[in-house]
């Protein structure tokens, strides 16, 4: 039995405007990783007394948190 993959549609892709669930998860993971990386850099900057690294980490963490909250508001 052959299945024509071009004609097969899953319930997650009912409309062309919907973002695939996998894409939504991937975006969330990337935002979460950005937040975690920023947090790590901020703490490393504090421990090393490196204000530039601390600022960079804080900025990265805030970007990740902003992306996460934006994604939550879209759901």
In a domain, 60, yes or no: yes
Q: Cβ(60)–Cβ(44) under 8 Å?
A: no
Give residue-wise pLDDT tens across range 6-47. Answer: 666 665 555 555 667 888 899 999 999 999 999 999 999 999
In a domain, 42, yes or no: yes
Q: What separation in angstroms does the CA of 60 have from each of 4, 5, 25, 27, 64? A: 44, 40, 20, 15, 6
Structure tokens that stand for 4 in this block: 């024509």
**Token pair 């879209």 in the structure block, residue:** 74
The parent domain of residue 27 ranges over 22-74
- What pLDDT does residue 75 have? 74
In a domain, 55, yes or no: yes
6: burial class by Cβ within 10 Å (0-12, 13-18, 19+)? exposed
In a domain, 65, yes or no: yes
In a domain, 46, yes or no: yes
For range 44-53, the mean pLDDT: 96
| Total number of domains in the chain | 1
């Amino acid at each position: 039995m052959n299945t024509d993959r071009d004609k097969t549609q899953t319930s997650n892709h009912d409309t062309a405007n919907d973002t695939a669930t996998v894409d939504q998860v991937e975006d969330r993971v990337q935002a979460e990783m950005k937040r975690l990386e920023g947090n790590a850099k901020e703490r490393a900057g504090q421990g090393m007394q490196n204000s530039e690294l601390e600022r960079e980490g804080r900025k990265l963490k805030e970007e990740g948190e902003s992306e996460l909250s934006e994604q939550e508001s879209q759901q």
